[in-house]
Structure 1
Amino acid sequence: MLQKIQTFLNAAMTVGLGVRLAELAQDVQSSIDTFPDTPDRRYLHRLEVQRDRLANPDLRLVGAVMRQLCEEDPSRREVLESALEPLLSQHPYLAVLQRQSESQA
């Protein structure tokens, strides 16, 4: 299973996963850096958790980011298709990356 996940991650990286994660991490870090000094630090904590998650993304986060990237450019799905199929039975949340016609069938 790890090889299948790695194949999917490699495909995702070729269509922009790394760049998008870096952009998101930069945005979150900027928000942390400019966070006002207030007694209520709950939102700051939330930002720090997001930063940590972006630094160590799980497959669910990768799927969510790839969904957004595929919505922006549907041709990215073609690159992911063969790597995605073997993962769907154990990771059904990745089904959002399938083409609309396939997921509605």
Structure 2
Amino acid sequence: MSVRMPSNFGRSGAQESALDLLGHEILGEKAAALGRAGRRVDETLARLREHGDDGEHRARLLRDAAEAVHGYFIQRELCGLRKHDAVIREYNIPKAVLARLGAK
């Protein structure tokens, strides 16, 4: 035999609808933030590839790229995406950048 909670103790249809709308908006914001973080990775890696030959300038470009990649990885994890191997290949993230994140 199963027991069901009385309907007057559950959420109302209006409350469910509001939660669905809020959840949808939160997912949209997560996706937008992930897109912005991905564009930042693209931009910093492009600058590193174009101007990364100068020794002093290279250190700053590596730091900027590592910060962008770190932020992107965090945003991916907030979206539930835990594995970054495909992203590392897709963006062709240099080992020097990954080493600054603690990768071996």
Please indicate, yes or no, whether the TM-score normalized by the shorter chain is above 0.5: no
- Coarse TM-score class (shorter-chain normalised): 0.3 to 0.5
**Larger radius of gyration between Structure 1 and Structure 2:** 2
Query: Larger relative CO (CA 8 A, sep 6+): 1 or 2?
Result: 1
Instruction: Report the TM-score, using the length of structure 2 for normalisation.
Output: 0.39
